[in-house]
Amino acid sequence: MESLTGRLLVATPSLRDPNFERTVVLLVAHEEGGALGVVLNRATEVPVSEVLGPWGTLAEEPAVVFEGGPVQPEAAICLARARPGIEQLAGFNRVAGAVGTVDLSADPDTLRESVLGVRVFAGYAGWSPGQLEGEIEGGSWFVFDALPGDAFAGRPDDLWPMVLRRQGGLLAAVAHYPTDPALN
């Protein structure tokens, strides 16, 4: 399978794992050794500034830490969106287009003029070699192209239906799938 780095995994309604139900995951790495991504639509109430001090001034609204996934919740991954025209940026590892990961051990002031904003994730989603491919084949995930603003959605709770609606056709109808079909 070709690399899915920079693409979105959107949980299908059949994915009932509470860690991933109705999630949208941005894959930041997908290689032979496995895959790693962050859940984009699980905001906490913890302000970035409370945990990472000055990084909070770069955080896009909502300026809170997000639950990036169930693996290593004590670890932090930071995504940033580079300003137009910025090709090279120290400590910035491009994932797709203007979006990339940023080294949180750096001084955030060195990035202030080069990024439009950051989003911080506690933990990540990880898959061993072949595991993600098996889950996609088994119908747990839709795979879609990401838009530059997806990782920085102002209303992260609306991201799952928003991404599905923009696919059009039958996939757009999935956006209206009830949380509990038994109550429909």
Cβ pair 125, 68 in contact under 8 A: yes
Give the start-to-end residue ranges of the domains of the chain: 7-183
Instruction: Give the chain's count of helices (H) and strands (E).
Output: 4, 10
Of 167, 144, 17, 164, give the one whose Cα is nearest residue 176.
Answer: 164
Q: Is the pLDDT of residue 7 over 80?
A: yes
The pLDDT score that the predictor gives to residue 77 is 97
> pTM score, two decimals?
0.94
CA distance 14 to 108: 40
Report in angstroms the alpha-carbon separations of 120 from 5, 58, 100, 182: 18, 10, 12, 36
CA distance 78 to 73: 13
Q: How far is CA 51 from the centre of its chain?
A: 19
pLDDT per residue over 115-139, tens digit each? 999 999 999 999 999 999 999 999 9
Q: What is the token pair recorded at 89?
A: 């940026």
Q: What are phi and psi of 67, to 5 degrees?
A: -80, 105
Q: Could you say which of 3.40.50.300, 3.40.1740.10, 3.30.420.40, 3.40.50.150 is the CATH number of the domain covering 7-183?
A: 3.40.1740.10
1's enclosing H/E stretch is: none
CA distance 150 to 159: 7
CA distance 98 to 41: 19
Lowest model confidence (mean pLDDT) among 38-42, 58-62, 79-83, 90-94: 90-94
Q: Is the pLDDT of residue 15 over 60?
A: yes
CA distance 68 to 98: 20
Q: What is the mean pLDDT of residues 165-171?
A: 94
